[in-house]
Amino acid sequence: MQKLHFVMGGRVSDPRTFDFVDLSKLDLVGVYPDFATAEEVWRAHAQRTVDDAEMRYVIVHLHKLLEPTLPDRD
């Protein structure tokens, strides 16, 4: 089964949350076929904004949203 991972980021109202300030300005980085690739891309983008606590990048496990009954194996 294909496992899709989506990397995105943007400015959040509080660094402890996922409340993005302006959805129209999200950085929609891309969709990747495995977690390792997504993590590499996520790490590169997160590293560029490491000094800005209000910028947050995340990996969304699209396969878990599309088929939530599947076991948690990446």
Structure confidence by residue, pLDDT tens digits, 5-46: 999 999 999 999 999 999 999 999 999 999 999 999 999 999
Sign of CA dihedral 40, 44, 66, 54: positive
> What local confidence, expressed as pLDDT, does residue 64 receive?
83
Q: Is the model more confident about 74 or about 67?
A: 67
Contact, 11 vs 21, CB < 8 A?
yes
CATH of 5-66, one of 3.30.70.2400, 3.40.50.800, 3.40.50.1000, 3.30.390.50: 3.30.70.2400
Residue ranges covered by each domain of the chain: 5-66
